[in-house]
Structure 1
Amino acid sequence: MKLCGALIVLMTLSAACGLRCYTCTAADPRSCIDTKSCPVIFNRCFSLRVDGYDMVTKGCQTSMACVGAVACCEGDLCNSVMPTGPSVFLLLVSSAILVIFL
């Protein structure tokens, strides 16, 4: 029962803190290590790479502005170059299933 209470508190705190995204303008996307708590109106993280330029821009965005060359994603720090959090877990689980059944 204590575990359920702790999970509810953690989920409430994470929702109250808002979305976190990587933010930068850099030539190398891997150099984006700064993070930012997005204002309430922003519900997506974005990455923008313009063809012909060696620059990438990352930050917070609204879902309505996620068009064209703007690649948007949902979830904390989802606009990183390296897979993080749940995506790493899903990658590991799918690899394990392939190894077991193939």
Structure 2
Amino acid sequence: MELLISLLFVCALISKAYPLQCNQCIPTGVGSCTQTQETCPAFQTRCGSVTVASYMGSFKLAEVNMKSCAAPAECVSGSVNFGVSRTTVSTRCCDGNLCNTQNAPALPDGSPNGKQCFTCEGTDCTHTLKCLGSEDRCIKASVKSDGQTVTVKGCVSQTACAGTLNAQLGNTAVDMSCCEGDLCNNARRIGQSVLLLLVSVASIILFH
């Protein structure tokens, strides 16, 4: 018994002495990045690879690959679809030093899944949108920039609505809510969205 306790103690010391290391590659725009190595903080216990693709209608605007340390809650994939624009995030996480050597494969385009949500065309938010792939929730978002607020609506994956994450990029703040049921996003609904990262990264791709 004493030997087992001693071994556990030694393992704990080794774990603290040798924190996780992951490959890091974070592009500043749509270009490539230089891969380096980073030591992860205690709360990021996995290595991750992320592929973000942005679409304007059916046309792919950009695809960006990133690598970094990741917290378990960040190891999710999904998409957000506002009709005129759609962003997909594919994440692959792994355990072990420098294990994130490969890029995560981009999510497939997806086909209509039978669900519908409201979407906006200009200031008219009464149009309907056919959701694609894993998009099984409706979403409403308010984007504030330069003193103006723009409302957008559309479809989103459940993985993007399973918690709370607040995000800001410069002067642009994004506030979202998700709901279940066809066309449920016509009123003020409830449920905070999680994967604001989807919109944040899309903003980086499109506007930086």
Q: What band does the TM-score fall into relative to the shorter chain?
A: 0.5 to 0.7
| TM-score normalised by structure 1 residue count | 0.56
Q: Which amino acid aligns with 1:21?
A: C
Q: Which amino acid aligns with 2:96?
A: G
Which runs of 5 or more residues in structure 1 are unaligned? 1-8, 82-102
Which runs of 5 or more residues in structure 2 are unaligned? 1-9, 54-59, 78-89, 103-208
Find the structure with the greater CA-based Rg. Answer: 2
Quote how far apart the aligned CAs of 1:55 are: 2.1
Do 2:26 and 2:68's aligned partners in 1 also have CA atoms closer than 8 Å?
Answer: no
Alignment of 1:16-35 (within 5 A): 16=16, 17-26=18-27, 27-28=31-32, 31-32=34-35, 34-35=36-37
- Indicate the structure whose relative CO is greater, using CA pairs within 8 Å and at least 6 residues apart: 1
| TM-score normalised by structure 2 residue count | 0.30
Q: Does 1:59 align with 2:68?
A: yes
Do 1:25 and 1:55's aligned partners in 2 also have CA atoms closer than 8 Å?
Answer: no
Alignment of 1:23-102 (within 5 A): 23-26=24-27, 27-28=31-32, 31-32=34-35, 34-51=36-53, 52=60, 53-68=62-77, 69-81=90-102
Q: In structure 2, the residue corresponding to 1:41 is in which secondary structure?
A: coil
Do 2:23 and 2:100's aligned partners in 1 also have CA atoms closer than 8 Å?
Answer: yes
Do 1:19 and 1:43's aligned partners in 2 also have CA atoms closer than 8 Å?
Answer: yes
- What is the identity percentage for the equivalent residue pairs of Structure 1 and Structure 2? 29
